[in-house]
Amino acid sequence: MKDLIKAVALPDGQGTVSLLKDNNEGYLIERVADRARIRNYVAQYEYINKEGESTLFSMTEEKGYEILERMQSGMAYASCYIFYEDEAPNETDLTISDIEHQYTSTGIKFWRHQEQMLNYKNDDPSTVISTHISPEGACNLK
């Protein structure tokens, strides 16, 4: 059973975000998208030290409140879960962390699969290069 700690509305009617306490999992952030009423849960946040090394930590009540404030202020959803030891870099100075490379289709990740990229370039797309799954919204194409 999840106990509601605090809930806030996201800007521009995008949905709601809540801090929950789960007896089994600790603290969670729940985001409910108004479009298609899809729910997703996040139980960790990322901490980046001065050397740029990234570590995942379990959600705490304190970080949960900070994340809710960031979301309510309109900060980009993915950025809300990243905390820096020093002041956060400007958006133009951000580099992709090792964790993001594992889970997203970045240029570096594409070139780690050179055979597939060369096949695609030579009009022989015999393998899947990229698959994207977005559990936060419904397709708006008719």
CB proximity list for 57: less than 8 A, separation 6 or greater: 44, 45, 46, 47, 63
Stated pTM of the model: 0.60
Closest to 109 measured CA to CA, from 129, 88, 135: 129
For range 113-136, the mean pLDDT: 65
* Most distant CA atoms of the chain, gap in Å: 54
Degrees (nearest 5) of the Cα angle 65, 13, 40? 55
Domain ranges of the chain: 2-92, 95-125
What pLDDT is attached to residue 92? 47
The answer to whether residue 93 scores a pLDDT higher than 60 is no
What pLDDT is attached to residue 53? 84
- Amino acid making up residue 115: E
Q: What is the pLDDT of residues 41-78, one digit of tens each?
A: 889 999 988 888 888 999 999 999 999 999 888 887 77
